[in-house]
Amino acid sequence: MRRSDEEEQAVRAATRGELRLLEPAVRASPEAVRALLDPEFTEFGASGRRYDRTSVLAVTSAAGEDDTGPSVATAMSGTLLAPGLVHLTYVSERDGRLFRRSSLWRRTGGRWRMYFHQGTPAGEPEQAGQYPADSPSGPD
């Protein structure tokens, strides 16, 4: 099914924001992170910890640009759930480990900001294909 122009534009905007948040230079800038996170932001990190906007800003500000390490995003896809609300999913790899990522991006005041994020450890890259949803045939 072909996406509407509205859905395409919304998903592109959320994807741009998500990719910016993965950039070490952006993560090292409290102003840049603040601009991309919704004031009501919540995250369930891959560690199991719960973060809000203030705690994420404290963590990202404490890490220097060189301390954040690269994170590579693959298999990114998005869906417009409702006007002004996009759900993104993707896989990230950092330091030889895979993580499943899910984000909700909300448009308020004409700006797209991350409203919610969850990261779930997915093991080593060679294990990724062992999960039923990763198989070409899908679930039984």
Instruction: Transcribe 65-92 into DSSP letters.
Output: TTTS---EEEEEEEEEEETTEEEEEEEE
Give residue-wise pLDDT tens across range 49-96. 999 999 999 888 776 555 545 578 899 999 999 999 999 999 998 888
Matching residue, tokens 């906007």: 53
Distances (CA, A) of 123 to 45, 93, 120: 15, 10, 9
State how beta strands 37-44 and 97-108 pair: unpaired
Element (H, E) at 6: helix 5-21
Pairing type for strands 111-123 and 97-108 reads antiparallel
Q: What is the pLDDT of residue 47?
A: 87
Amino acid at 125: P
Which helix (H) or strand (E) element contains residue 47?
none
Instruction: For the chain, give the percent of residues with pLDDT over 70.
Output: 82
Please say if the pLDDT value at position 134 is more than 60.
no
Q: What is the pLDDT of residues 88-106, one digit of tens each?
A: 999 998 888 899 999 999 9
Concatenate the DSSP letters of all residues of 26-38 into one string: HHT-HHHHHHHEE
pLDDT band at 20 (very low <50, low <70, confident <90, very high): very high
Q: How long is the chain?
A: 140
pTM for this one? 0.83
